[in-house]
């Protein structure tokens, strides 16, 4: 999958529903975009690769539950080896002063491209993210995640990745 197809897919995922100008302004004022880059599968010397990605969170959909503040997230990443992962799931948010802790779980679709064969098209991403408030509308963070197919495929090698994050509220 090349970069053009990847970016088109992201555009369709994030912007396919139509909104009035007022709804769009309200929706964008309560949106958070997470731009990240890092190392995909850093623990496998033969298959590690750089990655870039984007994640969207609509803060209008946050819900306070007994597990904390939960919200849906949707995103995608691509590696230098053209492996792609498109996902949607749930993220918890915990604030500890200026530090934010955001664990998440996001099932998605994986395409290996020229990268690592993870054993199945369906993969599950578990992630831990820590970020620091830079201003009212931006954060700088670090995250670690693990991709696994939960033994849906004939093999389940998994992939461990780390990322540096820049989060911006609009």
The residues pairing with 34 across neighbouring beta strands, listed in sequence order, are 55, 167
Q: What integer best gives the mean pLDDT of the chain?
A: 88
Share of the chain above pLDDT 70, in %: 83
Residue 23 lies in a domain: no
Local confidence band at 24 (pLDDT 50, 70, 90 cut-offs): very low
**What's the pLDDT at 15?**
53
Local confidence band at 156 (pLDDT 50, 70, 90 cut-offs): very high
Q: Is 148 helix (H, G, I), strand (E, B) or coil?
A: strand
pLDDT-wise least confident of 56-60, 87-91, 137-141? 56-60
Number of domains comprising the chain: 1
Residue 4 lies in a domain: no
Residue 55 lies in a domain: yes
Which residues of 11-137 form beta strands (DSSP E)?
A: 31-40, 49-58, 63-65, 68-79, 84-96, 99-111, 122-135
Residue 9 lies in a domain: no
pLDDT score of 7 more than 60: no
- Cα separation, 6 vs 107, in Å, equals 18
Arithmetic mean of pLDDT, 41-52: 93
Arithmetic mean of pLDDT, 88-114: 95
pLDDT score of 17 more than 60: no
Kindly state the tokens that stand for 14. Answer: 């994030």
Arithmetic mean of pLDDT, 53-80: 92
Local confidence band at 63 (pLDDT 50, 70, 90 cut-offs): confident
Residue 30 lies in a domain: no
Q: In which domain, by residue range, is 153 found?
A: 45-169
pLDDT score of 82 more than 50: yes
Arithmetic mean of pLDDT, 78-89: 97
**What's the pLDDT at 8?**
60
Arithmetic mean of pLDDT, 137-150: 97
Share of the chain above pLDDT 90, in %: 71
Arithmetic mean of pLDDT, 122-135: 97
Residue 112 lies in a domain: yes
Identify the CATH number of the domain in which residue 136 sits: 2.40.160.20
Residue 74 lies in a domain: yes
Residue 163 lies in a domain: yes
Decide if 27 contacts 60 (C-beta within 8 A). yes
């Amino acid at each position: 999958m090349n970069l053009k197809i990847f970016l088109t897919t992201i555009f369709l995922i994030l912007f396919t529903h139509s909104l009035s100008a007022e709804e769009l302004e309200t929706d964008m004022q309560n949106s958070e975009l997470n731009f990240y880059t890092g190392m995909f599968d850093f623990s496998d010397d033969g298959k590690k690769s750089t990655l870039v990605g984007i994640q969207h969170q609509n803060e209008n959909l946050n819900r306070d539950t007994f597990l904390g503040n939960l919200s849906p997230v949707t995103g995608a990443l691509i590696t230098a080896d053209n492996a792609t992962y498109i996902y949607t799931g749930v993220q918890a948010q915990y604030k500890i002063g200026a530090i934010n802790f955001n664990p998440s779980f996001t099932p998605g679709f994986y395409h290996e491209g020229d990268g690592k064969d993870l054993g199945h098209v369906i993969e599950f991403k578990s992630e831990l993210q820590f970020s620091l408030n830079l201003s009212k509308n931006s954060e700088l963070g670090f995250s670690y995640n693990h991709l696994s197919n939960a033994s849906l495929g004939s093999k389940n090698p998994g992939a461990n990745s780390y990322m540096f994050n820049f989060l911006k509220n609009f």
